[in-house]
Chain A
């Protein structure tokens, strides 16, 4: 038993920090309906503020902590409440895009200002031994962190459950309209909740940085991903359960790590535990038990989009195609970048099909592409002809897509996105290194050795042809019965079912089709340089692609063409911007998300009305959002 004690001790300390982050997350989600993917990034921002004040400006740590946790947290909380109000009027897919954009923005800003190298973060709590358990020295810092976090958790619970403010917070969840009629503005209550939630995020960021004595924007931003599993245990509603979930995950991680250390095939399971928990808890609970607070506004207008006249459409398509054909003649030495971009067209199509056509969000597209890339590499190495290997790559990704469709059946909106995120991270961090995927070394790949297709120009034109075929297929799907079903799925799954169509079958179909496209995209990417590894398919890439997709436009085909250009070609040309592109992607995604409500149209035309709307409660805003003509709401 004593051999487990050290694992328990450290599991408790880190679990408490996860729990704290999860509570802040649950609080803001419960009160606003907006799930904040940037929760960890707020912690990262606060840790940088603390570092700046204490280590760069020489302020005493209590003052620096006060400013970083209370001051920074409060300011950001107020701003986030404004953002949440903007996002309250958009479909849940764009709510996700908005907060993912914020995550990318904060992370990129920290890196931009302080560089990508980590900074030494001087611990401000005493690190000498408090006591010893089974030979393990427990530091005073660990004890203080655990106790203070637990106290904060209890305090938050008491505030929410026992105080007047808590009553109002619960009321704003249950019936904001009724709360409005009592003379209490739901907006004010939500602001208080955001303020509290942000302070919790800030505190967890500062404490984690102190515990690690290291300041790393990416690492701290992703803290929240660990906290997702904890929040899931609390069904995204219960604060005490979210805290307990953090503790459970923290301790379980350590214990699993101890047990898996002697089994090579299980290695990696420990640090993937939060994502597995997230995936399975969501799957078990299902949408009915979870609810979907932010899911009221649906992506219904895509079905009624007002496009160009058919003639103009054909003309535009011909012009774009002509431009694509002329690329090798015009871009000179940068052709490899365009080839890379062309390999991503199908990946954007695959995501666009989900987001734009069927109103679902997947945060694991990179992992699906990785499955295709690995399958392609294995097939090519086994002597399978190139074309068949590409096709196989797509087909092998299909069953994986079907697995992703299981949560799609059980879940919707936000929770589907979270489940796919957990699934994607698990594939990336557990399966990539297995021999049936990339294994421990680069896999050999190649281009077809016929008709000069292995030259850059030849490969570009091959990819162009495949991309055109993919676009034609998606357009055909969108105009087919399946397309109408998908749009119906985006509008109202219930209505779809009442018409006798199966929403579940439609979901499975679209996920399989999406996985097929993503798998082929992975194969085309892998074929570029003669070798491929999992390094190219980082799970953070799935978040970036979603952000870029939102910026690139709201129709599947347009986004699939503009997206890769913005994500790959743009940075290759504007080299001086470098990290600045991440800032642009983050900020752009936020703007795109907010504008999904059609607010841009009203900004110019009805500034006065906008001001009036902002003074109203979110409830009224939501009601009005439904009244906004579809064409302006989601075009």
Chain B
């Protein structure tokens, strides 16, 4: 009898495990959604990407040329080479693409497709597939935060392919999850190089970045845009950030806080991650530099259950705004602990650390949370670039809530697009190489990507991307995320 009980327990465990599997995205969806990679897209996003493209005009699909010689098996596993990695998976769609090779020419998307302005002219001949990679910490603790960046880049791929690809090259995306493991990141860079990937775009890997950097420098592969939360972004010839880096964002946040009349600042930083402790190193001197006072500073643990002592101490120190170098979950707990003593300082952090779920937290909203970001606010649609972003999300991933990570990823895609288009017609007739991408990036001069970033300038052969000290401001309050302007504020 007892053995039966044990067996039943095992059975229940197995059923539970299987039911857990059921709530996840199938392997097929993963391949389709992310183009042969291994990341998990949110199921709703995958469905939306499928249906959006299934309903898209056939002519919007780029040339469905056969895969280039030597195309990797991953490409074959994805929808036809010319179709995008984010192409819908339905067999019908694949077949339709295959049966209309002749028609997939040079058609800029119809009115329903967003922003085709950056496409210089119609494509007459489809180029070789342009293979891009995306690596990020898409599982584990960071997974929920970076999820929107993954979907947004897949959306950009859909969008750009619907407009004929980049310089007539259909884009294939390999998205990979390194689980925040630097060695995996380095291996994935090498693997992508073997697959013929020409560049990484929208890398979101703050915890595995040293491995990734080491990998791209060995592979001589450019990285175009990403989270920017690492000083390395401005310290390598292969890294091309979108807009301001970590230092710019911190300076901007402090500037905004001080400008709003809050001159007594505090700081809480987690001890578990170097991303947090880096903040503890550079924020205090920046606060002094901005003419404000750091009246309270404390280490915290991400596993800490209660922060009332820190809140009480900050309250006693007269802290008006509190820098939060920690994850979104901890910010929520700090908000509740502070609320328990009726203390509601404004929080200041990088919007990238908040998942959409974090941003719904009523206690955080009550405190208000300000953020300075490198790219234009995702809440506004003042510029052509912002409008294109919103239109693409609406078309391809309507349930994806716009947020910082998704617009960073989108902007990364647009920066890549601008770099290749900057090469002119020369980019059309031949396969694009990593060197071409680097050359194209070197031609970016004071480009705002249709109002998505402050002016970005790169130089051919640069040793490191220049620092940009222009940022945008967002505020999370009871009204949700808001922003007052789409014009960058330069310090």
Contacts and interface: CB of A to CB of B under 8 A. Distances in A.
Interface in A500-533: 528-533
Contact of B20 (A113, A226, A337, A568): A113
A261 B313 CA distance: 7
Given A116-B141, A440-B278, A534-B274, A578 B179 contact: yes
Interface in B1-16: 2-3, 5-6, 9, 16
Contacts of A536: 182
Contact of A340 (B27, B183, B207, B363): B183
Contacts of B116: none
Contacts of A291: none
Interface stretch (A401-409, A431-439, A475-483): A431-439
Interface in A590-621: 610-611, 614-615
Contacts of B91: none
B139 A578 contact: yes
B380 interface: no
B210 interface: yes
Contacts of B300: 271
B309 A213 contact: no
Contacts of A113: 16, 19-20, 23
Contact of B274 (A3, A14, A442): A442
Interface in A261-286: 261, 264, 267-268, 270-271
Contact of B184 (A3, A270, A337): A337
Interface in A523-570: 528-536, 538, 568
A161 interface: no
Interface in A452-485: 456
B211 A253 contact: no
Interface of B: 2-3, 5-6, 9, 16-17, 19-20, 23, 27, 30, 38, 40, 139-141, 143-145, 176-177, 179, 181-184, 186-188, 190-191, 193-194, 207, 210-211, 213-215, 218, 271-275, 277-278, 280-281, 296-301, 303-306, 308-310, 312-313, 316-317, 329, 332-333, 336-337, 340-342, 355, 357-358, 360-361, 363
B210 A530 contact: yes
A261 B314 CA distance: 9
A334 B272 contact: no
Given A113-B16, A261-B313, A575-B38, A429 B271 contact: yes
14 contacts: A116-B141, A119-B357, A213-B363, A218-B303, A261-B296, A271-B300, A271-B301, A336-B190, A441-B277, A442-B278, A528-B183, A528-B214, A571-B181, A579-B140
Chain A facing B: main interface SS: helix
A333 B140 contact: no
Contacts of A139: 340
B190 A112 contact: no
A576 interface: yes
Contacts of A218: 141, 303
A530 B216 CA distance: 13
Interface centre among B5, B280, B301 (most CB of A within 10 A): B301
What 8 A-B pairs come out closest when comparing CB atoms? Answer: A117-B144, A257-B309, A340-B183, A333-B190, A533-B274, A440-B281, A336-B186, A333-B191
A336 B211 contact: yes
Contacts of B139: 116, 578-579
Interface in A47-98: 78-79, 82
B210 A6 contact: no
Contacts of A136: 340-342
Given A120-B357, A529-B182, A572-B187, 13 more contacts: A116-B140, A118-B329, A219-B305, A253-B309, A257-B309, A258-B313, A268-B271, A268-B301, A332-B191, A439-B277, A441-B274, A576-B27, A578-B40
A137 interface: yes
A258 B309 contact: yes
B191 A429 contact: no
Contact of B38 (A257, A430, A576): A576
Interface string A330-348: 0011111101100000000
A572 B191 CA distance: 12
B312 A336 contact: no
Contacts of B272: 428-429, 534-535, 538
Nearest to A340: B183
B303 A264 contact: no
A9 B71 CA distance: 66
Contacts of A261: 296, 298, 309-310, 313, 317
A535 B190 contact: no
Interface in A206-225: 208, 211-214, 216, 218-219, 222-223
Nearest to B147: A117
B9 A336 contact: no
A578 B280 CA distance: 32
A529 B186 contact: yes
A400 interface: no
A116 to B, nearest CB: 5
A82 B4 CA distance: 12
Contacts of B281: 439-441
Interface in A1-57: 3, 6-7, 10, 14
Contacts of A614: 2-3
Nearest to B329: A118
Contacts of B16: 109, 113
Interface in A111-128: 112-113, 115-120
A118 B3 CA distance: 37
A20 to B, nearest CB: 13
Contacts of A211: 305-306
Interface centre among B143, B187, B304, B317 (most CB of A within 10 A): B187
A257 B313 contact: yes
Contacts of A335: 187, 190
A433 B184 CA distance: 25
Contact of A120 (B188, B280, B342, B360): B360
A211 to B, nearest CB: 8
Contacts of B329: 117-118, 214, 216, 219
A188 B303 CA distance: 36
B19 A336 contact: no
Contact of A257 (B3, B194, B273, B310): B310
Interface string A128-160: 000000001101001000000000000000000
A433 B183 contact: no
A80 B302 CA distance: 29
Contacts of B273: 533, 535
A30 B199 CA distance: 60
A298 interface: no
Contacts of B194: 332-333
A330 to B, nearest CB: 14
Contacts of B360: 120
A314 to B, nearest CB: 31
Contacts of B6: 82
B301 A115 contact: no
Given A120-B361, A528-B183, A529-B182, A535 B274 contact: yes
Contacts of B145: 117
Contacts of B193: 333
B197 to A, nearest CB: 11
B299 A433 contact: yes
Given A7-B312, A120-B360, A441-B281, A212 B305 contact: yes
Nearest to B190: A333
B311 to A, nearest CB: 9
A418 interface: no
A7 B306 contact: no
Contacts of B2: 82, 611, 614-615
A208 B179 contact: no
B309 A432 contact: no
Nearest to B337: A10
A6 B182 contact: no
A254 interface: yes
Contacts of B313: 257-258, 261
Contacts of A189: none
